[in-house]
């Protein structure tokens, strides 16, 4: 495989500013980025590369690759090329003072121990042996695997725009001690003060972590304790009250009667095996996404039904807030609604609804029995592949695609949206960071609710850094991402359209409605 690697060089003792030195390499797909950097070091021994393998300093090789922090030894070149492109620029981690080229001074990393008061706080003196249940020991051990490589913080969308955010390293450390039954300190207020509710729960940190530590689940667990202690932000509590209020049933506090406004453009059946579940954002804010999906189903002769004003929230905002009992109750109610309808397939344009039904309901102990859950883009890709949905023309402009966290990183749906876009667009240009390493739009984790200004700043950061030149539209598989990046583009005067994949498909088929 051919790849072009630029190494940002800087020697404070003689250079006035950093510069990039380029290398053309032929690499094996299974070789690691560290292998490539060592190949470069062999070609030019004056380059300083960070690694301390087999010295008990795992994580020391972390570098910034096209603005994604990665431990160089744990990522293959095939993954780098797939998710970041065949031309990459490698820089040192931005969090530490640079010593030379890619090598930084990591001594500052030890500050996290002081900030989080990482040591065990005991009420009684230590008397061995200490007995800890296997469940507690396993949970603590899963967090303790951290090697302080700081790839997570350097890749965190929140930390990139808000230096006050404690970040994944701090929240992981707090979660470890919080899970340790030997620790007597109340860690929840500490987590809140470290930015617990500014976390997007996008799991970019887990994607780059060489130990695959599940920081997102740790955040939800800490938020669950904060919710029970009454420490959740007032904006979060207000939004969740809207979901639980029978008159409204959504976090936007919009009238339940308005939830079915999008249906007037469609011809759903009163009873069918397929349920089109719009979700809150598509029902109230991005109705075009739900309407377009309904029209595609009708164009393919697929009978479907809708819930209209009887549709409930999927419960994702409750789950993300740590209101797990309330989320479980909503899950049970939705499951019962689907059972009574007798539907066999639930199709939704919303990745959060999709993930909630497919993966998080079971995690809450609620199973959707005999019901298949599919995202709109999966269904559309299948219909095109089988020849049921025929693409008659292509849009004659260049477009790009934004990977939603819940659909992509969380559920692994990467290829179907790209297959549909490539069938519909003359030119498809990938974003700079994509697939597993795509940056969150900024709306995740309830941050759009609790801290809207921080949320939109993250969205602006996404389009400024990753939008390819020359594209006229960002294609979306998520109503929330579409609304968020539309606002981000408007904020900074970037003139591109934000459309759903369903809307793109409608432009490319002949239809009689």
Question: E-assigned strands of 272-358?
Answer: 274-276, 345-348
Which of these CATH numbers, 3.40.50.720, 3.40.50.2300, 3.40.50.970, 3.10.20.30, describes 2-105?
3.10.20.30
CA 268 to chain centre: 32
pLDDT of 245 strictly over 50: yes
pLDDT in the model for residue 56: 52
User: Could you tell me whether strands 87-91 and 62-65 are parallel, antiparallel, or unpaired per DSSP bridges?
Assistant: antiparallel
Better-predicted residue by pLDDT, 183 or 192: 192
> What average pLDDT does the structure give for the chain?
92
Task: Reply yes or no on whether the pLDDT at 490 is more than 50.
Answer: yes
Full DSSP string of 405-432: TTTTTTT---HHHHHHHHHHEEEE---S
How far, CA to CA in Å, does 513 sit from each of 1, 152, 299, 482, 495? 48, 49, 8, 25, 30
Does the pLDDT of residue 139 top 90, yes or no? no
If one counts every other C-beta atom within 10 angstroms of the C-beta of residue 477, the result is 31
So what's the pLDDT on residue 512?
45
13's CB contacts (< 8 A; 6+ apart) are: none
Backbone angles phi, psi at 111, to 5 degrees: -60, -25
Strands of the sheet containing 372-375, edge to edge, are: 274-276, 345-348, 372-375
CATH topology classification for 246-382:
Rossmann fold (3.40.50)
User: What is the average pLDDT across 140-154?
Assistant: 87
Q: What pLDDT score was predicted for residue 55? A: 55
What pLDDT is stored for residue 130 in this prediction? 82
Check residue 122 and give its pLDDT.
82
Q: What is the CB-side half-sphere exposure of residue 415 using CA atoms within 13 A?
A: 3
| Helix (H/G/I), strand (E/B), else coil: 388 | coil
Residue 513 has pLDDT above 50, yes or no: no
Domain ranges of the chain: 2-105, 108-228, 246-382, 385-506
CA 302 distance to own-chain centroid: 31
Q: Residue range 346-360: average pLDDT?
A: 98
Q: 246-382 with 385-506: one CATH topology?
A: yes
Among 78-92, 103-117, 212-226, 408-422, which is the least confidently predicted range? 103-117
| Interval 73-121: pLDDT, tens | 888 999 999 999 899 999 998 878 899 999 998 776 667 666 667 778 8
Direct distance between the N- and C-terminal alpha carbons of the chain, in angstroms, rounded to an integer: 48
The set of residues, in sequence order, having a beta carbon less than 8 Å from that of 511 and lying 6+ positions away, is 295, 299
487 Cβ partners below 8 Å, 6+ apart?
A: 456, 459
Q: Are 448 and 484 in contact (CB under 8 A)?
A: yes
Q: What is the CATH code for 108-228?
A: 1.10.1060.10
pLDDT of residue 73: 86
Strands (E), 155-229: none
Q: Which pair of tokens denotes residue 219?
A: 């955040």
Is residue 276 within 8 Å of residue 354, measured between CB atoms?
no
- What fold is seen in the domain 385-506? Rossmann fold (3.40.50)
Lowest mean pLDDT among 56-70, 143-157, 348-362, 480-494: 56-70
The yes-or-no verdict on residue 31 having pLDDT over 70 is yes
């Amino acid at each position: 495989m051919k790849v072009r690697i630029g190494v940002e060089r800087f020697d404070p003792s003689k250079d006035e500013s950093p510069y990039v030195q380029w290398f053309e390499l032929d690499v094996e797909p299974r070789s690691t980025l560290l292998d490539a950097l060592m190949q470069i070091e062999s070609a030019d021994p004056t380059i300083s590369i960070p690694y301390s393998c087999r010295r008990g300093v795992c994580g020391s090789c972390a570098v910034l690759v096209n603005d994604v922090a990665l431990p160089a030894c744990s990522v293959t070149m095939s993954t780098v090329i797939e998710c970041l492109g065949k031309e990459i620029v490698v820089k040192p981690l931005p969090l530490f003072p640079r010593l030379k080229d890619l090598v930084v001074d990591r001594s500052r990393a030890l500050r996290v121990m002081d900030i989080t008061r990482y040591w065990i706080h005991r009420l009684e003196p230590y008397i061995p042996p200490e007995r800890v249940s296997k469940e507690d020991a396993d949970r603590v051990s899963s967090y303790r695997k951290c090697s302080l490589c700081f790839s997570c913080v350097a890749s965190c969308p929140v930390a990139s725009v808000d230096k006050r955010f404690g970040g994944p390293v701090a929240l992981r450390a707090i979660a470890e001690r919080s899970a340790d039954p030997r620790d007597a300190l109340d860690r929840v207020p500490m987590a809140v003060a470290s930015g617990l509710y500014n976390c997007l729960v996008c799991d970019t940190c887990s994607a780059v972590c060489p130990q695959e530590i599940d920081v997102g689940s740790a955040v939800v667990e800490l938020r669950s304790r904060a919710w029970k202690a009454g420490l959740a932000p007032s904006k979060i509590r207000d939004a969740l009250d809207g979901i639980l209020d029978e008159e409204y049933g959504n976090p936007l506090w919009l009238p339940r009667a308005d939830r079915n406004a999008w249906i007037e453009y469609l011809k759903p059946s009163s009873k069918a095996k397929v349920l089109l579940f719009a979700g809150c954002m598509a029902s109230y804010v991005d109705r075009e996404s739900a309407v377009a999906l309904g029209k595609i189903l009708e164009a393919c002769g697929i009978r479907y039904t809708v819930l209209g004003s009887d549709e409930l929230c999927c419960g994702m905002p409750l789950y993300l807030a740590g209101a797990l009992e309330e989320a479980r109750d909503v899950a049970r109610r939705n499951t019962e609604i689907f059972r009574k309808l007798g539907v066999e397939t639930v199709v939704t344009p919303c990745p959060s609804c999709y993930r909630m039904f497919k993966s998080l309901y079971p995690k809450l102990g609620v199973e959707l029995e005999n019901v298949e859950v599919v995202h709109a883009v999966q269904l559309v890709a299948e219909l095109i592949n089988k020849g049921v949905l025929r693409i008659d023309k292509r849009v004659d402009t260049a477009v790009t695609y934004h990977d939603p966290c819940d659909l992509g990183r969380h559920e692994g749906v990467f290829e179907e949206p790209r297959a549909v876009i490539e069938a519909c667009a003359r030119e498809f240009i990938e974003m700079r960071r994509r697939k597993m390493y795509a940056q969150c739009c900024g709306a995740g984790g309830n941050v759009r609710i609790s801290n809207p200004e921080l949320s939109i700043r993250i969205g602006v950061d996404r389009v400024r850094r990753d939008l390819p030149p020359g594209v006229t539209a960002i294609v979306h598989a998520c109503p929330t991402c579409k609304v968020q990046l539309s606002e981000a583009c408007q904020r900074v005067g970037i003139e591109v359209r934000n459309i759903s994949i369903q809307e793109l498909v409608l432009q490319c088929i002949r239809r009689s409605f």
